[in-house]
A and B are shown apart, each in its own frame.
Chain A
Amino acid sequence: MTEQVHPTVERQTMDADIVCVGFGPATGGFLTTLSRELVCEDGTAKLESSVAPGLPPQVICYERADDIGFGVSGVVTPGNGIRKSFPDLDLAQIPLAVPVKHEVVLYLLDPLGASRRSALLRCADKAIRALKGILPFEREAFKLPYIPPFLRKDGGLLLSISQFNQWVGTQLLGSGAVQIWPGTPVAQPLFDDNSVIGVRLLDQGTDKQGRPEAGFMPGMDIRAALTVVGDGPVGNVGREIDFHFGMPEGRHKRDWAVGMKMVVNLPEGCPLEPGTVLHTFGYPEPEIFGFLYVYPDNVASLGIFVPSWFDSPVRTSYRYLQHWMMHPYLWQYLEGATLRSWGAKTLEESGKRGEPHLVGNGYARIGEGSGSTNMLTNSGVDEAWITGVQLAEAVVELLKEKKPFTQENLEATYVRRRRSSDLDKQSCIAEKSRDGFGSGLVPGMLGMAATGFTGGMLNIGSEPKQPYKRLPTLADYYKGRIPAEELEQIVRDCTARGVSAHSTLMDRCGWPQIPYDGKLLMSQQDALLLGGKVQAPGGYADHVCFLYPNLCQSCGTKICIEVCSGQAITPGVDGVPQFDREKCIHCGACLWNCATPHPDNPERTVLDFRAGTGGLHSADN
């Protein structure tokens, strides 16, 4: 899949004991646990390297982004696994970290009348408005009087994932036991028959098609006895391993969401206390969920999730985020706020159902890409961390016993730990908790309640379909709202102007224009520049590729253009979208939103998301 243009070129090789792909919470948990077992206090080796005799095992981690602290997420997490790793955790040492103090779940009504609401929701809205005198109703928002225990994060933590990663990474680097190299994308895993024997780094000094240019430096092969794959939901190494070995029977990754987020300075005098957690649903479209977490010093992280079961062929995030912020309930706190940073990321929402083969000869999977996210409790960071810890404990056990990293040995150590843990038990309970959302918001909420209150005994809904199978055509989606001829004209006009159509279509459906203030409300391009700055160093191949241009030409929705979080994918010549790496923020939404299945694999699409450098430069997220 990510085969580079010159596979036969002579490459340098380097040997390591363990090579890790991606530095996030899972790899943080892995390296934190492992690094404590490699070196004695006097600096001598506790365990010995097989590639550098006399030294501790050589452990290297490669991270794609330009810094280890360029994550994109505000996080509320139970934090149990993290606290276990750091029993004396002092949150004051981690910028923007604060304990959870107060949680609120809000159902947002539509103050504009522009969103698509089912008859059931419209009735519910009418009933709530009629009873607003006796219900906890304020500024078009209904505050749920009860939060189910499985959704609560009592005693949990609010974190900025960037700052948390930076804090963890600083300690790891300071230990000298492991190395973390940012700005170094991994192009692909190296296979040898049925084993993974290391990774290949991305070629440098190429043109956008990957052809060598001046300064060409073939990506080095890093050979290692164990490759730890923690490259997240859209990581190319994890996906390539999935394609190579296949997914376990009955497992697949079909539920996704794109989370678009901001970190803001709240206006002076904002009454929200640090540690406050607001969760919302119902607006701007019923399928879109929102969050607002309040950090210390009058800073907040906020955003929306646009899921793959929101059956809109123009499901953009940016403009919906702006309308969500301007909902009267939220605007009472956000009016006058200032953008600090902005970003987006894909969330793999299949949870246990998306669990790949966790181990094989020479490799192990951890974190979100390994299906660790709990879809019932909406929790992923702590779970990812725990999977890293479990793998590290297994690795130490194998190193001490001088056993090789075979599938059998990794099954007996890592997988055994994972299967016997509470993490896995909870993950099994949650496996079908979101199936109801395939039929809409109300069945989805009922399904979560059924799963949560019966411990997974009762679930609502059926196995999800691939996102492309759910997507209606533009004509079907706008039937009854925009006449077919007018719709075609709008799309033609936007294509001719080289822009996506969603904003024009939202205007046409009654969504008001956003009154830009240059502080919080601004154009999407300004958000790219002010909200973290996008960096795309030259000398690398494009990481978004249209594998079958002829199929893209005949694609009716071109949803990749509509969903692109950075407006990096635009209408191109001959009907094939074009990609501008200088605007890509690496959210990966184009990968799973693509509406055309791959001819050889129905679980893939014809848009490929490969290894790439750059992205957002923000340490706030």
Chain B
Amino acid sequence: MSTPYQIVVCGSIVPDPLQTLEPIATPNGPALKNEMMLPAVLDPWAKHALYEAANLASKQPGSKVYLVSLGPKAKLQQVMMTMAQKVPFELVAIDGSSSGFTEASEVAAALAAAIKAIPGVDLTRLLLFGGWESASRGAGSTLQMVGEQLGIINQFQGVDKLTCNADGTLEVLERIEGGKHQVSKCSCPPAVLGWATGMLPEPPNNPQIGMVNMRSIMPALQKAQPAAVGAQGLSFASVSLPKQQRTTKVIKDMPADEIASEIVAWVSQD
């Protein structure tokens, strides 16, 4: 018998990874230069989690996917127009900064509060998904804290595969050191799964899914509550990026050995 899950995906927006970012100091703490002008995307790690969630929900009748997202409302709205055509989900929006300079515990508290406020939320059916880290932060700490605040003990990070067995147990394939995987078993929900890349390709755009999602996205954005998660009061001694060095060349069909040699030579430079 399949279990209907409540799958909550925590994922926010980040600047389009193709952009060059520049940290600056502002009266409200550090920020990215022209942050509101930068094109945004759903955090790539969270995106994998969302696709996995939708795939799982499609196989477990009665399951539902929520996307809980904390970010500037206007930017969230824009990104949702891209994401909404991908997979079915219900948005829970929280209005606040999504820059990499926010305080992870504050973000976690806001996310946990929003999850608790989802009507009919049931811990016995809850799978908390997210990226195992974020493209804007990389600390990998927020999702764990959300889980802790919700009282979820079973936590897995770097997940590449989740199998839901007929007996209700969960089998999790996690990345561990040395390029290996570890298989864990968990008796039942709730569980936190911080996804690595998963196994699924990006779904195609489906206009009908978009139309259905949109019915809940716009009201969710209108209802979005503000959350104070900025770095107010904090002062950073310095903020800098690694020195950028770019020597571009485009070569098609380069043998793997040559690529590897070049990378080794490049890494050895420093």
Contact = CB atoms under 8 A, between A and B. Distances in A.
B78 interface: yes
Interface in B124-157: none
A180 B74 CA distance: 14
B25 interface: no
Given A68-B78, A525-B250, A95 B37 contact: yes
B77 A69 contact: no
Interface in B32-83: 34, 36-39, 74, 77-78, 81-82
B19 interface: yes
Nearest to A177: B218
A620 interface: yes
A217 B85 CA distance: 13
Contacts of A182: 81-82
A619 interface: yes
A204 B19 contact: no
A539 B78 contact: no
Given A183-B82, A525-B248, A619-B37, A222 B18 contact: no
Contact of B37 (A163, A183, A539): A163
B154 to A, nearest CB: 33
A529 B248 contact: yes
In this complex, the member of B18, B36, B39, B250 whose beta carbon has the largest number of chain A beta carbons within 10 angstroms is: B39
Contacts of A140: none
A24 interface: no
A170 B74 contact: yes
B119 interface: no
Interface in A147-172: 163, 166, 169-170
Contacts of A220: 206-208
B214 A183 contact: no
B233 interface: no
B248 A518 contact: no
A205 B204 contact: yes
B36 A95 contact: yes
A525 B82 CA distance: 28
B78 A170 contact: yes
Interface residues of A, number: 46
Contact of A67 (B78, B205, B250): B78
B144 to A, nearest CB: 31
Of B38, B201, B204, B214, most buried by chain A (CB within 10 Å of CB) is: B204
A204 to B, nearest CB: 4
A70 interface: yes
Contacts of A526: 246, 248
Interface in B142-201: 201
Contacts of B81: 68, 173, 179-182
A288 B208 CA distance: 47
A518 B245 CA distance: 9
Contacts of B206: 217, 220
B18 A617 contact: yes
B234 to A, nearest CB: 25
Contact of A66 (B19, B82, B214, B221): B82
A474 B19 CA distance: 39
A452 B81 CA distance: 44
B207 A14 contact: yes
A537 B202 CA distance: 10
A174 interface: yes
B269 interface: no
A215 B208 contact: no
Contacts of B268: none
Contacts of B39: 67, 69-70, 617-619
A530 B20 contact: yes
Given A526-B248, A535-B18, A170 B77 contact: yes
B18 A533 contact: yes
Given A179-B214, A523-B248, A619-B38, A204 B205 contact: yes
5 contacts: A67-B16, A95-B34, A174-B77, A174-B221, A179-B214
Interface of B: 16, 18-20, 34, 36-39, 74, 77-78, 81-82, 85, 201-202, 204-208, 210-211, 214, 218, 221-222, 246, 248-250
Interface of A: 12, 14, 60, 66-70, 95-96, 163, 166, 169-170, 173-174, 176, 179-184, 201, 204-205, 215, 217, 220, 222, 518, 523, 525-526, 529-530, 532-533, 535, 537, 539, 583, 617-620
Given A205-B204, A222-B207, A523-B248, 15 more contacts: A67-B82, A68-B81, A95-B34, A95-B37, A174-B74, A174-B77, A181-B207, A184-B205, A215-B204, A220-B206, A220-B208, A525-B249, A530-B246, A535-B18, A619-B39
